């Protein structure tokens, strides 16, 4: 089984990709993780990717496609794939289709996790951290006892630039453009399945697995 998980930041895509890969016996591939590992190891690929990642931009297709195709040519990819964060452009999707077709394979299903926009913004902007001890809070899932004050040390809570509403909205806009283009691409192939991403992580896993029930 070869699957792709699609969804905007904050829908829980990374968490679900790991859970599904384990439960279904698939190889979990996150191109974001691969780039971060390469950057931490200081390889040429990592240094190149880091420039784009720091700027919040996509790593160019020729770098990303090469890295991904090399990874899925490894023996452990034969057990099946759970792709997370790839493809992000139509040329990436086309290159993936072409590489799989060469070996007589294909993508079986593209699961598109969807969460209402207002809830996504609340999830993404809810994170605050203590400027003194670094403790992390979330206004929805782990609020501090007193607003703006750290439970641990009494320090002042502040929000990272990345988590502020203007930055979050800009990030959602950019991601929406390519996510919708890919949804259309796989929709035309009849492979797209929309999944309700609200509720508990267990609810979402159950919906995803329900959508896989008739995949061979």
Residues noted as catalytic: 13, 88, 127, 160, 171
Alpha helices (H) in the chain, listed in sequence order:
13-24, 31-41, 44-54, 61-72, 90-102, 117-125, 165-188, 201-211
Instruction: Kindly determine how many residues on this chain lie close enough to bind ligand AMP according to the rule CB under 6 A.
Output: 13
Which string of x and - marks every residue 7-36 that binds ligand AMP (by CB under 6 A)?
Answer: ------------------------xx--x-
Q: By CB under 6 A, is residue 112 in contact with ligand AMP? A: no
HSE at residue 144, side-chain half, CA atoms within 13 A, is: 21
Smallest gap from residue 35 Cβ to ligand AMP (A): 5
Q: Interface with ligand AMP includes 178 (CB under 6 A)?
A: no
Q: Is 58 in the site for ligand AMP (CB under 6 A)?
A: yes
**Cβ neighbours for 60, distance < 8 A, ≥ 6 positions apart:** 52
- CB 6 within 8 Å of CB 110: yes
**Minimum Å distance from CB 124 to ligand AMP?**
13
Of residues 198, 195, 192, the one with CA closest to residue 208: 195
Binds ligand AMP by CB under 6 A, chosen from 21, 29, 59, 82:
59
| Chain residues in the site for ligand AMP (CB under 6 A) | 31-32, 35, 52-53, 58-59, 64, 85-88, 92
């Amino acid at each position: 089984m070869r699957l792709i998980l699609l969804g905007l930041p904050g829908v829980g895509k990374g968490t679900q990709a790991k859970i599904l890969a384990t439960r279904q016996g698939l190889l979990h591939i996150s191109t974001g993780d691969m780039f971060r590992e390469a950057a931490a190891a200081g390889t040429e690929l990592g240094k190149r990717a880091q420039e784009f990642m720091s700027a919040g931009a996509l790593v160019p297709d020729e770098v990303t496609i090469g890295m991904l195709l090399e990874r899925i040519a490894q023996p452990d990819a034969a057990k099946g794939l759970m792709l997370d964060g790839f493809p992000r452009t139509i040329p990436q999707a086309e290159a993936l289709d072409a590489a799989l077709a060469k070996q007589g394979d294909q993508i079986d299903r593209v699961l598109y996790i969807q969460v209402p926009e207002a809830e996504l913004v609340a999830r993404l902007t809810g994170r605050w951290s203590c400027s003194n001890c670094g403790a992390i809070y979330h206004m929805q899932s782990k609020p501090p006892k007193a607003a703006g004050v750290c439970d641990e040390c009494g320090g002042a809570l502040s929000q990272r630039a990345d988590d502020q509403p203007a930055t979050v909205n800009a990030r959602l806009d950019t991601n929406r453009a390519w996510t919708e283009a890919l949804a259309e691409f796989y929709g035309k192939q009849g492979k797209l399945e929309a999944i309700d991403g609200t509720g508990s992580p267990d609810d979402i896993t159950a919906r995803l697995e329900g959508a896989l029930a008739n995949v061979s």
